[in-house]
Amino acid sequence: MGKNGDDFHPLLHTTPESSVKIPVPSVSVGRESSHTRSGMKTAILIWLTLQNSIHTLLIRYSRAREVDAMFVSTVAVWLTEVIKCVICLFLVAQEETPRRFIHALKTQIIEQPYDTMKVCIPAMIYIVQNNLFYVAASHLDAATFMITSQLKIFTAAIFTVIILRRSLNRTQWFALAVLFAGVSLVQLQGTKSKEITGESPFIGFVAVVVACCLSGFAGIYFEKILKGSAPVSLWMRNVQMAVFAIPSSFIAIYMQDAKTVNEYGLLYGFDSIVWLTVLWYGIGGLSVAVCIKYADNIAKNFATSVAIVLSTIGSMFLFDFIPSLTFLLGAALVIFSIFLYSSHQAMVAALGRLRGEIPSTKEAFCL
Ligand code: C5P
């Protein structure tokens, strides 16, 4: 988090209910800005819902459709990093004059090697995570993939407890248990139905679980960096990450897919669907970054819950996915656990904030 306290990880609000105080503003000063802020948060909420649902369907479609040449997923991950870096450089450039832009890159990246080095760990972890998500999408149907990946909400919570030494209340621990029950039920359908097609739900499941653990860790680590260091803009932080992410994801191509790439070239199997998936993945990553900065727990959780429903409906139409009763029960438990995890006070704060009545969760929780 920057010193100005702007950046905020939505999954870190583990404040015990007893310590939550929601101050009500006594004057109308800032009412307009509060409206603007709640408008922005509503926009993020709607955007994340659509982004998440389309992302899951796209990544699954890109891996599951029948094509003569299947693209190399490590190349897709690398290109996503390149695209994100270009977008972030463009956004940084928008905020500065050309001279100050070059100066900012020099002072904030090259002349602060220690500060830049700090983002090395989350950058590397995100690369492994992104590669694992492609593996998972190759073996799990979109709905199962979407629901299982909700585990990352809770790996973030676990790492919050371990690394940041914050505590979870009893309801939140209960929500964790409900989530695991829900994910296990959803997996039952996946395990039964996919063996004939050559996909391995087990590999997909392991990939998504490991990816979720990495996501939780990287998120918390990134939060720690943002909190403790000099105020560097969100886009500049992402440019710093790209310094490590682009070369390491390129090395990953040659470690894993050297034979295919040497024989057929980097863009083997790249058609419009793959380009769209890569671009959408990049936009998704930057949306996560924006979410870390502006949105709150409720916003992200509402978005992912609705996205679960949308991806399941989308899978039914696109992939002839027929959810079993076990699947529906598991999905319901996962959605329920997400809401349960968000404390009652946070829910009240978010609803009030959407109406512009009370300050953000961050202010309310004084974190
Ligand atoms: O939801 P989750 O935290 O797992 O999202 C991680 C995704 O967001 C990864 O694809 C990662 O590359 C991307 N990301 C990003 N910039 C950040 C944080 C995450 O591009 N600052």
Q: Considering only CA atoms, which residue is closest to atom 21 of ligand 1?
A: 289
How much distance in Å is there from the Cα of 16 to the middle of ligand 1? 27
How far away, in angstroms, is 211 Cα from ligand 1 center?
A: 11
**Dist. CA 76–CA 267, nearest whole Å:** 9
Ligand 1 within 6 A of CB of 152: yes
Task: Say yes or no: CB of residue 285 within 6 Å of ligand 1.
Answer: yes
Asked which of 85-99, 213-227, 272-286, 295-309 is least confident by mean pLDDT, the reply is 295-309
d(C-alpha 240, C-alpha 359), whole Å: 32
Could you tell me if the CB of 215 is within 6 A of ligand 1?
Answer: yes
Distances from the Cα of 250 to the Cα of 75, 103, 247, 289, 327, angstroms = 7, 27, 5, 22, 38
With a 6 Å cutoff on the Cβ, whether 289 touches ligand 1 is: yes
Interacting residues of 10 by C-beta distance below 8 A, sequence separation 6+ = 291, 292, 295, 296, 297, 299, 300
Q: Of 51, 132, 288, which is best to mutate to test ligand 1, by the most ligand atoms within 8 angstroms of its C-beta? A: 288
Contacts of 106 (CB under 8 A, 6+ apart): none
Counting from 1 in the atom list of ligand 1, the atom nearest the Cα of 133 is: 10
Task: Indicate if ligand 1 lies below 6 Å from the C-beta of 238.
Answer: yes
- pLDDT (tens digit per residue) in 87-135: 999 999 988 888 888 998 898 888 888 888 889 999 999 999 999 999 9
Both tokens of 280, joined, read 């959408």
Residue nearest to atom 13 of ligand 1 (CA): 285
> By mean pLDDT, which of 16-30, 183-197, 311-325, 341-355 is the weakest?
16-30
The Cα–Cα gap between 147 and 120 comes to 29
- Whose CA is closest to atom 17 on ligand 1? 289
Work out the pLDDT band at 53, boundaries 50, 70, 90. Answer: confident
pLDDT in tens, 299-314: 555 567 677 777 888 8
Q: Helix, strand, coil % (nearest 5) of the chain?
A: 80, 0, 20
By most ligand atoms within 8 Å of CB, the mutation choice from 11, 126, 130, 277 for ligand 1 is 126
**pLDDT at residue 26 greater than cutoff 70:** no
Percent of the chain with pLDDT over 90: 31
Q: Is 287 close to ligand 1, i.e. is its CB under 6 Å away?
A: no
356 close to 34: Cβ distance less than 8 angstroms: yes
Distance set, CA 45 to CA 50, 52, 184, 203, 340 (Å): 9, 11, 28, 32, 19
Predicted confidence at residue 15, as pLDDT, reads 37
Kindly tell me if the per-residue pLDDT of 222 is higher than 80: no
Highest mean pLDDT among 11-20, 150-159, 244-253, 308-317: 244-253
- Which pLDDT band, with edges at 50, 70 and 90, does 27 fall under? very low
* Cβ(364)–Cβ(349) below 8 Å: yes
Q: Tell me the Cα Rg of the chain.
A: 21
**How far, in Å, from the CA of 103 to the mean position of ligand 1?**
27
| Res 297 pLDDT > 60 | no
